[in-house]
């Protein structure tokens, strides 16, 4: 039915790579724990959206390293009493995916940016916003692992 439509059930990750080790991201911000949250979200995304298996470093074909280089908060709206009602949080991330056997980078992503808005009036918190932010960033970073066609 769909002959020639351009869809494929094959992974978009280069088939030469079967396994990956994801090193805990460095965190160059003043927000402890963000590195663990982003790394966990990235591992979950790799497991659910790719054919790569996440394994210990000594068993991996490839290694992902990265860092959260910056995290910023911007007030968007305040109420008449100067209480923050809405805020935007933005994270900046670098990531390198390396072929462990050759030591050569497969893909390098620099200054990748993700943002999320927090609406305190509806019960959102910095924690819920950053969780969503890191989940979104992980999805986008996994898309960066796809082979260029």
Q: What is the CATH number of the domain that holds 59?
A: 3.40.50.10610
- Whether 4 is in a domain gets the answer no
Q: What domain range includes position 136?
A: 19-144
Does residue 141 register a pLDDT over 90? yes
Q: pLDDT tens, 94-129?
A: 999 999 999 999 999 999 999 999 999 888 899 999
- Whether residue 9 lies inside any domain: the answer is no
User: Over pLDDT 70: what percentage of the chain?
Assistant: 91
- Residue 139 resides in a domain: yes
Look up tokens 């911007």; give the residue: 74
Residue 5 lies in a domain: no
In a domain, 3, yes or no: no
Residue 86 lies in a domain: yes
Note the residue count of the chain: 149
Domain assignment of residue 130, yes or no: yes
Which letter does DSSP use for residue 147 in this model?
A: P
What's the domain count of the chain?
1
φ and ψ at residue 19, rounded to 5 degrees:
-135, 155
CA pair distance 79, 65, nearest whole angstrom:
41
* Predicted structure pTM score: 0.89
Residue 52 structure tokens: 């790569």
């Amino acid at each position: 039915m769909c002959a020639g439509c351009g869809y494929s059930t094959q992974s978009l990750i280069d088939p030469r790579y079967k396994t990956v080790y994801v090193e805990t991201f460095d965190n160059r911000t003043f927000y402890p724990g963000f590195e663990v949250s982003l790394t966990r979200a990235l591992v979950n995304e790799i497991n659910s959206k790719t054919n790569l298996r996440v394994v210990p470093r000594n068993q991996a074909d490839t290694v992902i390293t990265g860092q959260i280089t910056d995290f910023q908060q911007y007030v968007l709206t305040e109420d008449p009493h100067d209480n923050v009602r809405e805020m935007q949080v933005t994270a900046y991330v670098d990531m390198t995916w390396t072929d462990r056997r050759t030591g050569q980078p497969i893909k390098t992503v620099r200054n990748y940016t993700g943002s999320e808005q927090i609406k305190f009036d509806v019960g959102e918190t910095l924690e819920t916003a950053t969780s969503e932010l890191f989940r979104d960033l992980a999805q986008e970073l996994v898309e960066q692992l796809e082979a260029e066609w």
